[in-house]
């Protein structure tokens, strides 16, 4: 259990799903295993019984496969720009994180969330969403260097002004979260249902400050932008995810899960994917990022 112990030490607030009792015969030997493989086996043992299979994502198209293959396996300089939009340039080297069994970087995740914002802006019947980048939660909470225990509204006070949005006119505020600089998850402020949602493919519950800090953020945002108090702030609480969010069984797909949590939730769709869909969804994610166009439906 070395990797699990290390993970708990690095993110002490993480509520890891406790593995069921295992017999000596069913426990895989740890000798010679990489950290990622050991994490994969620990997560596999910790998973609750699988619910009935969700409706699977649509099959990959030829174009998606070709775009992805060219980007991550094709010839070319590591410095070649393969995706350019939002004043961001993603090079071939930056996109190598989309190869199989690789942890996604923040550049790719934030770029994809910008595409989701553009899609949301154009959608007529979908929820109204504002997507922040992956720095929102750590700016608000002090980040891992302060164990996410240092609330700081000043760090994000101007974000809505710059984005020219009123969070209280949104249905959802959606943000990717870098947990301890080693894991990706997604948070959401559900304005419509007056609560907070936490989407995590590995950790059961959010940081203890997730709800109180987001609640304080809404209080401060309402006071600052509307010059009056937020009505009944204590009523805003963590909302139960039903059905539970899909779970990963390895140590590297959390970023892909996080991208498609945002993709489905912001469109008002069910989370219709599982671990077995990750290889194909990596390809789809790569193609969408390279194409840099939100009109993929």
pLDDT digits (tens, 9 = 90+) for 94-110: 999 999 999 999 999 99
- pLDDT band for position 56 (cuts 50, 70, 90): confident
Can you give the pLDDT at residue 18? 46
List 97, 129, 254, 259, catalytic entry = 254
Spacing of C-alpha 235 from chain mean position: 25
Cα–Cα nearest to 138, from 90, 190, 184:
184
The pLDDT of residue 27 is: 44
Q: Once rounded to an integer, what is the mean pLDDT over residues 133-152?
A: 96
Instruction: Give residue 16's pLDDT.
Output: 62
Catalytic residue among 183, 190, 222, 277: 183
Quick one: pLDDT at residue 287?
98
Phi, psi of 285 (to 5 degrees): -60, -45
Average pLDDT of every residue of the chain: 88
- Tell me the C-alpha distance between 153 and 220, whole Å: 7
Mean pLDDT, residues 285-290: 98
pLDDT, mean of residues 247-253: 96
Q: Which of 202, 197, 184 is nearest to 19 (CA)?
A: 202
The number of C-alpha atoms within 13 Å of 164 and in the hemisphere containing its C-beta is 1
Q: What is the pLDDT of residue 118?
A: 97
Q: Which of 229, 226, 274 is nearest to 249 (CA)?
A: 274
pLDDT attached to residue 3: 38
CA angle 277, 282, 283 (to 5 degrees): 105
Give catalytic status of residue 207 as yes or no. Answer: no
Q: What is the mean pLDDT of residues 150-159?
A: 98
Residue 6 has pLDDT above 50, yes or no: no
Which one is catalytic: 200, 253, 263, 277?
200
161-188: per-residue pLDDT in tens?
999 999 999 999 999 999 998 999 999 9
CA-closest candidate to residue 119, choices 85, 71, 87, 166: 85
Closest CA to 254 of 181, 153, 162, 165: 181
Closest CA to 232 of 194, 198, 197, 196: 194
Residue 22 has pLDDT above 50, yes or no: no
pLDDT > 90: percent of the chain = 78
**β-bridge pairing 183-190 and 195-199:** antiparallel
254 among known catalytic residues: yes
Q: Which two tokens stand for residue 259?
A: 């991208």
DSSP secondary structure, 54-111, as one string: PPPPPPPPHHHHHHHHHHHHS-S-TT-EEEEETTEEEETTGGGGGSTT-PPPHHHHHH
């Amino acid at each position: 259990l070395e990797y699990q112990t290390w993970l708990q030490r690095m993110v002490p607030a993480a509520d890891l799903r406790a593995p069921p009792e295992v017999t000596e015969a069913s426990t895989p030997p740890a000798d010679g295993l990489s950290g990622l493989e050991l994490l994969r086996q620990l997560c596999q043992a910790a998973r609750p019984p699988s619910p009935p299979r969700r409706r699977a994502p649509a099959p990959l198209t030829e174009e998606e496969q070709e775009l992805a293959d060219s980007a991550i396996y094709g010839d070319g300089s590591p410095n070649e720009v393969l995706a350019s939009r939002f004043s961001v340039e993603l090079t071939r080297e930056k996109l190598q994180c989309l190869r199989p069994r690789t942890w996604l970087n923040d550049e790719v995740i934030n770029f994809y969330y910008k595409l989701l914002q553009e899609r949301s802006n154009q959608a007529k019947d979908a929820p109204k969403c504002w997507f922040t980048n992956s720095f929102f939660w750590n700016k608000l909470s002090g980040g891992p260097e302060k164990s996410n225990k240092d609330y700081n509204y000043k760090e994000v006070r101007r974000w809505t002004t710059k984005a020219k949005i009123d969070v209280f006119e949104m249905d959802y505020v959606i943000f990717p979260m870098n947990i301890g600089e080693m894991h990706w998850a997604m948070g959401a402020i559900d304005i419509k249902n007056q609560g907070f949602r936490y989407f995590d493919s590995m950790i059961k519950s959010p940081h203890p400050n997730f709800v109180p800090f987001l609640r304080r953020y809404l209080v401060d945002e309402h006071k600052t932008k509307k010059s009056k108090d937020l009505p009944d702030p204590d009523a805003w609480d963590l909302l139960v995810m039903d059905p539970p969010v899909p779970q990963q069984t390895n140590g590297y797909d959390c970023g892909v899960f996080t991208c498609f949590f945002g993709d489905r939730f912001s469109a008002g769709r069910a989370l219709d994917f599982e671990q077995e869909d990750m290889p194909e969804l990596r390809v789809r994610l790569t193609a969408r990022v390279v194409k840099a166009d939100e009109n993929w439906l």
